């Protein structure tokens, strides 16, 4: 049945918190002031398999205390909704191929402010996170995991170059 745990139980209890899921598999790349807008910092989580998860950095206005989100929409223009992105097969056919400044979604806050989240890296749009549509507060509660915005698959050849110009440390 049960086999001996590899680390003795006593040692486990005393250990500090383990590296999180994000820290184990992803590199955090920060892009500050996206599209020139002060403090609208994005954090791109790049997996060792090159896939990028688009999230907001802790310094983004939406994540500051006191900000309440009214709604989130993937309808970024009259003719374009990121929800229409339909991907099929191993080679992800049908994915929208986007460049760095493509908008992903719009956030409408209770105080009237509007923010746009941008993709920041070139590649195929795999997924937009529908969980934040149904429960916008997740974006603020878990910005680095369940509150992500989208998943992008960059071209194999570009997997390193897409984060040129990004910093790998948090902005103050």
* Residue 2 binds to another protein (criterion: CB under 8 A): yes
Candidates 27, 81, 116, 145: give the one binding another protein (CB under 8 A). 145
Q: How wide is the angle at C-alpha 134 spanned by C-alphas 132 and 137, nearest 5°?
A: 55
C-alpha 158: how far from chain center? 19
The Cα–Cα gap between 88 and 25 comes to 25
90 makes contact with another protein (CB under 8 A): yes
Question: Of residues 27, 47, 81, 116, which one binds another protein by CB under 8 A?
Answer: 47
* Shortest reach from residue 12's CB to another protein, in Å: 5
d(CA 55, CA 144): 6
Smallest Cα–Cα separation from 101: which of 115, 117, 116, 118? 118
Among 27, 63, 92, 100, binds another protein (CB under 8 A): 92
User: Which DSSP symbol is given to 33?
Assistant: S
Using rule CB under 8 A, residue 53 touches another protein: yes
Nearer of residues 80 and 87 to another protein, judged by Cβ: 87
Single residue of 40, 96, 128, 129 touching another protein by CB under 8 A: 129
Size of the site for another protein (CB under 8 A): 33
Half-sphere exposure of 60 (CA within 13 A, CB side): 24
Does 151 sit near another protein (CB under 8 A)? yes
Q: CB 172 → another protein: shortest distance, Å?
A: 26
Structural contact between residues 76 and 105, judged by C-beta atoms closer than 8 angstroms: yes
Q: Which two tokens stand for residue 20?
A: 């999180």
Beta partners for residue 125, in sequence order: 152
Binding site for another protein (CB under 8 A): 1-3, 5-6, 9, 12-13, 17-18, 20-21, 25, 47, 49-51, 53, 87-90, 92, 126-127, 129, 131, 138, 145-146, 148, 151, 153
């Amino acid at each position: 049945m049960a086999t001996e745990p590899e680390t003795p139980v006593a040692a486990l209890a005393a250990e500090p918190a383990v590296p999180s899921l994000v820290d184990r598999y992803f590199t955090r790349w920060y892009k500050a002031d996206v599209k020139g807008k002060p403090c609208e910092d994005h954090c791109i989580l790049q997996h060792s398999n090159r896939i990028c998860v688009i999230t907001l950095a802790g310094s983004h206005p939406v994540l500051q205390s006191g900000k309440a989100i009214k709604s989130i929409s993937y309808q970024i223009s009259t003719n374009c909704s990121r929800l229409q992105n339909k991907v099929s097969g191993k080679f992800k056919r049908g994915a929208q191929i986007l460049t760095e400044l493509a908008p992903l979604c719009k956030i409408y806050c209770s105080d009237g402010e509007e923010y746009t989240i941008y993709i920041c890296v070139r590649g195929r749009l795999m997924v937009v996170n529908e969980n934040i549509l149904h429960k916008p507060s997740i974006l603020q509660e878990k910005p680095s995991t369940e509150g992500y915005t989208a998943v992008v698959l960059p071209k194999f050849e570009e997997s390193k170059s897409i984060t040129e110009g990004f910093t790998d440390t948090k902005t103050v």
